[in-house]
Amino acid sequence: MEQIKDIQELSVEEAISTLESSKEGLSKDEVEKRFSSFGPNEIQEKRITPLYVKLLKQFFNFFAILLWVASGLSFLGEYLAPGEGNINLGIALVVVIFINAFFTFYQEYKAERAAEALKKLLAPTAIVLRNNKEEEISANQVVVGDVIVLKEGDKVPADARLLEQYELKVNNAPLTGESVSLKRSVDPFKGSILEAKNVVFSGTTIVSGSGKAIVFAVGMGTEFGKIAGLTQEIKEDPTPLQKEISYFIKYISLIAILLGVTFFLVGWSLGNTFTANFIFGIGIIVANVPEGLLPTVTLTLSIAAQKMAKKNALIKSLNSVETLGSTTVICTDKTGTLTQNEMTVKKVFVNDQEYDVSGVGYKPEGKLQLDGKDIEEKEIESIIPLLKTSFFCNDSKITFNENKHSIIGDPTEGALLVLAKKIIDT
């Protein structure tokens, strides 16, 4: 059986029949068969380059090779003419190469580790129906044809077509960047699957309600997996900075070699010894090598990367900093894709008074302010009923995981719940 297309256009019965499943779920034998066919429900990575290979690459980029040649010539000069100080220059060049290589490797290693956090967008476990019994399994064990049980706060483990739903709303922000909760339906839908109201996607969250759905795509076959696959297939072209430095190195290397050869020939014509001329030529070549360029560029880009990291912008490659700096226009559709997907109450208007609310995100810490001054609870009796209503007539929940507050439920209700917790003792 192959993963099917346009499942959103089928009725519930047609979808179940096409996937050769049932509302009671799959049998154990059928699950094993399909797992063998489709593999685990997880995002597959391209072959990972070993860390030692990534480190070695830093020692043998074009500019590093130039420094290796310069240091080698310095050591050769020390061998031919001891005591001239060439060995100190050679050692200094090697130190520059090592410092730059380890520093660049460390920066990119940190970025890759941070990028792995994206995997947390996927559900760790899932509740499925098998032989008409609910089972909680690891999400990577979900197969095509499984019937998954969805409830408020769950992350969807795979792309699935809804079989039944009760006031079900989803947050598709991981796929679309839009934080608005979307209502779901079981009715057939004509149009793009990304806009289908009867489909839930891997990595998205159930904001409210409950339901059941039948899985039609897993792993790299999901919409989330397709996006991951596209990012892995991107070919890395040289950045403008890399092109300029490469051109500069070739140009300066040619000049250095020509000068070295020229002075060698001039010295030879003046009757100097071969050794003296050779040492002098080496000195000319090494002197024209800009040893400080590599660490200067690396340090500058690293400082920029650190500043961007503080603003939650992740830089996987230092050269990308310069590319981003060359950007003049960024095209985006609207503000929904640029926000943090955290709804926050900032102002409250009661009895002809406009109050400001401090604090950001879902962290339940803040104050009610009037004209820039904090207002105590006893001074705002008129607003207490509103806050209590926001607290008690609310189905959302505040959670705290990995040093961050988040909400389970509707973002609007979550914002009102946070408001109540900020102001009154709950």
C-alpha–C-alpha distance, residues 305 and 301, integer Å: 6
- Please, which residues have CB within 8 angstroms of residue 132's CB and are 6 or more apart in sequence? 24, 25
Q: Which of 202, 178, 41 is nearest to 121 (CA)?
A: 202
**What are 62's two structure tokens?**
């074009």
Number of C-beta neighbours around residue 329 at 10 A: 4
- Please, which residues have CB within 8 angstroms of residue 335's CB and are 6 or more apart in sequence? none
C-alpha–C-alpha distance, residues 152 and 154, integer Å: 6
C-alpha–C-alpha distance, residues 331 and 311, integer Å: 20
Q: Which residues face 45 on adjacent strands?
A: none
Which amino acid belongs to residue 157? P
- Please, which residues have CB within 8 angstroms of residue 329's CB and are 6 or more apart in sequence? none
Q: Are 230 and 175 in contact (CB under 8 A)?
A: no
Q: Are 228 and 41 in contact (CB under 8 A)?
A: no
Q: Are 150 and 212 in contact (CB under 8 A)?
A: yes
Positive/negative CA dihedral, 49, 51, 54, 57: negative
Backbone angles phi, psi at 265, to 5 degrees: -70, -40
Report residue 38 CA to chain centroid gap: 26
Q: Which of 256, 252, 239, 281 is nearest to 76 (CA)?
A: 281
DSSP string for residues in 265-277:
HHHHHTT--HHHH
Which amino acid belongs to residue 347? K
Q: Which residues are catalytic?
A: 333
